[in-house]
Amino acid sequence: MLDVKLPLQYTLNKLEGRTLLKNRLPEFRKLHGYSQESLAEALGVSRQTVISIEKGKYNPSLPLALQIAKLFKTNVESIFFFEEER
């Protein structure tokens, strides 16, 4: 099996512009009746973590992103997506 490790910078950036991870977490949270505090409790994280994810200041780990998607009974791509910076 070929084991290729790309630098993180390469995987998150495109050649001509940065690719940013965006999210629809506030929309899903409100749709399912969660406050930031109650969502944080359900996920086992702090309210500040939820706030930081929603504002795009913090990208969740893969396990946390999967946990969020599972809680909302959807896939990760429905909540988190890449958008090219303009």
Predicted local confidence at residue 86, as pLDDT: 67
**Does residue 40 lie in a domain region?**
yes
Q: Which structural domain range is residue 44 located in?
A: 23-75
**Does residue 2 lie in a domain region?**
no
- Predicted model pTM: 0.76
Count: domains in the chain: 1
Which CATH number does the domain housing residue 63 bear?
1.10.260.40
Task: Report the chain's mean pLDDT, rounded to a whole number.
Answer: 86
d(Cα 79, Cα 35) in Å, to the nearest integer?
17
Predicted local confidence at residue 11, as pLDDT: 47
d(Cα 82, Cα 60) in Å, to the nearest integer?
13
pLDDT tens sequence across 52-83? 999 999 999 999 999 999 999 999 999 999 98
**Does residue 30 lie in a domain region?**
yes
